[in-house]
Amino acid sequence: MSTKEQLLGLVRIQGLALEIRKAMQVVEAGPVRIEAIESGFRERNAEYVAVKLRAEELEQDRRRRQSEVESLVEKRKKYMDDLMQVKNQREYAAMLKEIDAVKAQLVDHEDAILRDMEELEKLADDLKSRSEHIQKEREDVERERAIVESEAEAARRIVEERMCERAGVESGLPTPLLGTLRQLEATRQGVFLSRADNGSCQTCFVRVRPQKLQEIRTAAVLHTCSGCKRFLYVEAALRPAGEGATQTAHG
């Protein structure tokens, strides 16, 4: 394999590596995006549930008190009937005391029932509005979640395809070159190539010696930057033979 072929392989691998990294970012961001979508919905749904639970609590209290009122009414009726059967003033006074106690309990329950019904009436409109909004938001959340999952799945397929293609390109490169590539990739944030334009490395801007630059331009030798250690290349060296000369003639 010629030096130019090796350089073309490196450029292709670099492109694939960047595509893989970008796709992996989409995959890894998926759960975070979904959590953000669902977290906001959970907060608003919790507010709706709290209002709903309050309404249920009030309704249960109203029913319990209504049942107590019915029992107290029966008790008061019984006391009123018993009042007609008393035989002395002491029993009469005692019975009146029981009737007054029942009346006081009735007033307490009836007042509480009225308060429950007034609050329930206010909550009814709030619940209806919240229910409609929550239902729509739940549908929105499901749709947004489906979009994120679809994007993540598409990104996973890209990763698999590019990894497979990368393995094919790497299989044609010398083992020592692959070792250097992977070491640079691991220590240079995934970027192991840099253009050598205007006489310097375009990543760290360290100057390239003229002789070295000429060999890079002709793809005669693979060189690395003395500063960032990345492989250096120029675009012209990647063109098919004769293309640069044709362009120059036309220019």
**pLDDT for residue 7:** 94
Coil, strand or helix at 43: helix
Sequence-ordered alpha helix ranges (H) in 84-208: 89-170, 175-187
Name 217's Cβ contacts closer than 8 Å, sequence gap at least 6: 234, 236, 237
Same domain? For 48 and 118 the reply is: yes
pLDDT tens-digit readout, 20-79: 999 999 999 999 999 999 998 888 888 889 999 999 999 999 999 999 999 999 999 998
Q: Residues 112, 65: contact at Cβ < 8 Å?
A: yes
One domain for residues 63 and 163: yes
Three-state SS at 33: helix
pLDDT of residue 243: 52
3-state secondary structure of 5: helix
Q: Which amino acid makes up residue 182? A: R
Q: Are residues 137 and 151 in the same domain?
A: yes
pLDDT at residue 244, rounded to an integer: 46
Q: Which residue has the tokens 């909550």?
A: 123
How many other C-beta atoms can be found within 10 angstroms of the C-beta atom of residue 117? 12
| Domain C-terminal end among 135, 154, 170 | 170
139-147 LR contacts (CB < 8 Å, sep 24+): 141/37, 141/38, 141/41, 144/37, 145/34, 145/37, 145/38
CATH of the domain at 121: 1.10.287.1490
Residues of the chain with pLDDT under 50: 244-251
- Check if the beta carbon of residue 101 is closer than 8 Å to that of residue 78: no
Domain end position, chosen among 151, 170, 189: 170
- Structure token digits, residue 207: 């100057």
Residues spanned by the domain of 14 = 3-170
**Same domain assignment for residues 203 and 154:** no
Number of independent structural domains in the chain: 2
Are both 220 and 100 inside the same structural domain?
A: no
The domain boundary residue, chosen from 132, 154, 170 = 170
Contacts of 172 (CB under 8 A, 6+ apart): 1, 5, 9
Does the predicted TM-score (pTM) go above 0.75? no
Shared-domain flag, residues 106 and 129: yes
14 and 106 assigned to the same domain:
yes
Distance CA 28, CA 26 (A): 6
Residue 242, pLDDT score? 55
Please answer whether residues 157 and 165 qualify as being in contact, where contact means their C-beta atoms are separated by less than 8 angstroms: no
Both 85 and 28 in a single domain? yes
Q: Could you please report the per-residue DSSP string of 148-173?
A: HHHHHHHHHHHHHHHHHHHHHHHTTS
Say if residue 212 is in the same domain as residue 108.
Answer: no
Within this chain, do residues 100 and 219 fall inside the same structural domain, yes or no? no
Distance CA 80, CA 60 (A): 30
Residues 18 and 91 in one domain: yes
Q: Determine the length of the chain.
A: 251
Regarding whether 199 and 162 lie in a shared domain, the answer is no
Give the C-alpha separation, 127 to 50, whole Å.
10
